[in-house]
Structure 1
Amino acid sequence: MVRVSIALLKDRGSGIGKTLSEILVCPLSKQPLRYCEETNTLISDSIGVSFPIKNGIPCLVPNDGKILEDDHPKKPDNDVDSSTAKKD
């Protein structure tokens, strides 16, 4: 078990390892989390909450999460092109 933990946290100096980010999900919505290099946080786009990473360890306790403000960087929406979207 220790070997697995060491392997997952091996790249902690450069943010969060890709393998670890693929495994982690939001503790509230159970949806995938996105890593934001700018703020060194894991973001749940589904509910708009960010979770800090302290000393390379993701803090996924619901009380540690912070609600995102409108000025926080958001994931671009590739599914709908705003220039071609129909407006009612």
Structure 2
Amino acid sequence: MVRASIGLLKDAGNGVSKTLSEILVCPLSKLPLRYCEETNSLISEAIGVSFPIKDGIPCLVPKDGKIIEADDMPKTDDAADSSSKHD
């Protein structure tokens, strides 16, 4: 167990480790979260909420989440591809 904890915390200063981001889910929708390097936060695409990461620790308390407006939503490759198909 200690080795697993060390592995999870190894990259704590650099956002969230890949292993940890694969385990975490949105506390509200219970669906996977996406790490956004631009805002250093975890995004719940399902409900449009961004959860901050402070000192490498995800703040997944629902009151810490911020609703993302459509204009503020960071573009992903999927979103860019789907918008170009509609033109």
TM-score (norm 1): 0.81
User: Which ranges of structure 1 fall in alignment gaps of 5 or more residues?
Assistant: none
Corresponding residue number in structure 1 for 2:74: 73
Corresponding residue number in structure 2 for 1:55: 55
Aligned-residue Cα RMSD (Å) equals 2.0
- Identical aligned residues as a percent: 75
Residues 1:13 and 1:63: Cα distance change in structure 2 (over 3 Å): same
Corresponding residue number in structure 1 for 2:20: 20
Task: Please state which structure has a larger fraction of its residues in helix.
Answer: 2
> Larger relative CO (CA 8 A, sep 6+): 1 or 2?
2
TM superposition shift of 1:14: 1.9
TM superposition shift of 1:9: 1.6
TM superposition shift of 1:32: 0.4
How many residues are matched?
85
The more displaced of 23-32 and 3-12 is: 3-12
Larger Rg: 1
TM-score (norm 2): 0.82
